[in-house]
Each structure stands twice: as C-alpha cells, then as structure tokens.
Structure 1
C-alpha cells in the first residue's frame, strides 16, 4: 500500500463524514440533548429528595423499650425502665400492664400496676424513665404457693409518637423475672455507694444500725418520704 493510496482513502472517508454531518439536523439534535439533560437532572432530583426524606425519617424515629434493670442502689431492688433507644424524642409516652391479677396480688409489687396514668410529655433520645417495681427476692416468695411459685411472665404495652407525626406507635414487651433467678451479685452496690456506706459507718450514730437496707419508694402523691425494706446483705 502506497502513501498515495492511503491519502486517497483518508480523503474519501473525510468526504463521507462531511456529507453525513451535512445531513444532521443540529437544531433537533441540540433539543434532544437538552431534553435528555433535563430528564437526567429530574431523575437525580427525585433520588435526592427521596434520600433526604429517608435521612430525616431515620433521624426522627424514637423507639421505647420496656425492660427490667437492677436498682442503682443495689440491695435487691428491681426497676422497670422505659428507655428511648431510637433516634429523636418520643412524645406522649404511655404504658400499661397486661397481667394476671391473681398472680400479681400473690407478691409484694410496689408499683401501682392497676393505675391509669396520662401520657408522659417526652422521653428524649438516649434517656429513660425508671421506677421501682419490686424488691427482687420478693418476686420469688409468693404469699400462696398454690397460685404460683414465682411471678409469672407479664406484658407491658408502651405507646409513643415521633415529633413530626400524630400517629401513635405501640409495642408490647414480655417481661419475665425468672431471667434473674439464681444470678449471684444482684444485690451488690456500685463502688461509689460502697464508699459512701463506709463513710457513714464512721458515724457512731449509725454503728448500731441493724436490719435490711431501705429503698426509696416515695411517690409524687405522698407528702413525706416512703421507704421499703430491701434484701439483707447476709440473706441467702
């Protein structure tokens, strides 16, 4: 193949391309490209709006969980807690018990489980409301063993709503005290409380104190402090 033949071939190809470009309607092509660009922008906008909506929803999705927790003072107290483990504040939080009345009356339960309460205004993200449910060992000491030998599992229904939603969300949690049966160290106090107790022991007025430790059971309706006996540290 000579240089002259290659040159002729290239010139022929350029002529054909020039003829093809002459047939192109550049006005229509520009309109089509502009339309495609608009469509692409619209699709991207829809995806961005959707993602932003999902992010806002994920950032405002509170969830209230009902669960037991050991009383921070130790001494065998068992609290019932409502914890917000979701994202965002939970508003209008309410709870109620679903229980066997005969079984509950068979134990020394401190909280008034039959009382109807208005909803709480808010439980912030990561916060909780915790209150004394009973002294743990008493839930395994029935008044009448023919009814039950330990408190049977019961349910707590919790309702709340997100700040940007009027619809209530409800969950039902099953709580079982048998999960705490036989666990050692349940009555142990946190280190700071142990130190406080040791400092109090230096006071001669407390040297003769005997009996089981006391747990605060005061309600908002009472005009004076109310306490209940916890588990004795030397009990088996």
Structure 2
C-alpha cells in the first residue's frame, strides 16, 4: 500500500478543487502529510537542519472556505526559525514578515502526483535578493550551486513564475551548464518571480510504499536542503550587506 492513492489526486484536480463534496478526501490526504511529518521531523532536527515546522502555517488547509476557495494542492512546508526571520526584519526593514515572505522546503500532493520542492516566492524578497547577490559575487558561488544541482540528477525542474504564470521551465541537469545557468539568472528578478525547484513522483511509485515513503521523501528533501542552506539569508549567510559594500561582478562568469 502506498502513502497516497489515485483517488487522492481526484480531489485536487481542477474539476473538483472548489467542490466542498471533496473536503473529506482532501482531509484524508492531509492526514497522510501529518503522518509523514511525525516520521521525518525528528530526523530533521537530529541532523540540525535550520528549518522549522510552524503549526499555524506548515500544513495547508484541506477544506474549501472563503480564505481557500480552491484547493488544487496540499503541502507540508518548513521554513527558517522565527528568531532568524525577526533578525532579518530588524536588520533590513520593510513591512512585517509573514511565513509567506520566506523561502521554504516542502512535500506536497496535487492532481499530478507527489512532489518535493524548494520555493522562494516573489514575496520572499530578502531571501531572493540574498540568493541572487551571492551568485553574482563571482565564479566560486556559481560553481557550488552547479555542484548541488548536479547532485539532483535528472529529476529536478526549475520553474520561474510571475503572478502564477510560468515564464520558464528548465531541467536542473541543464543548469549545470554555466551558459544555461547564466541565461536563467538573467531572467530572474528577485521580488518579482517565484523560484521553484521540484522533484516529482507518481503516487503509484513503489518507493512511496507506506513503509518506505518517509525515508524516500526525506532523502529528496535533504537534496533540496543543500540549495536552501546555500541560498537563504541567515547571519552566517549574509549577502545582502556584502552587495552594499562592493560592486556586483555581473551575471558572468
């Protein structure tokens, strides 16, 4: 028996995403994400990952409401610690940050299947700018990023979106090529585009058998954690101040 079933996907298809009659099916799928969280979060903490579970935000709602009129995906999300978010807010100002204004790692389910993702939403302006500034500092940072992307193999895909519309899709295996990476970065505008890297599996994949799924999905989350740790702002990964101190070296080399 697998963690999710084909019937779970039906409740998230566009035809049923706004239908309250499918709330029960979505709640059952959401309960599976809760079950998954209970089995992987302890290991994440044991590994000292700098990502945290926020009960009020981390698991997306399953019931159609005025706040969520359409539910086409269910997610389990992890983001930076609250004290780090507050420190970033204090240091760089701007409007008060919400959890939606931070980069995050996630595992989810939609009408196509299961996905593991790393997302910098357009609203995560500071994390996005930190990532971008780090890459334009020079060749060593890009080399590190390309090495991390190479470890994803051929399964990861980067999507750039603007206001929900996909403007670019590229396989992570292609981003290992410096020219492709540079061309992609030229199209990325921090604060305007969502940057999303996702790996997908079919719900029928044998690796998602209930007894194997936690280890399989944690392994994939660990691959994306390397990207998250490389990119997002923290006191030890501060490229917002450095960009002010010295001129940008541009997209290339």
Output the TM-score relative to the length of structure 2: 0.21
Q: Which has the higher helix share?
A: 2
Q: Which has the higher strand share?
A: 1
Q: RCO (CA 8 Å, sep 6+): is it higher in 1 or 2?
A: 2
Q: Which has the larger radius of gyration?
A: 1
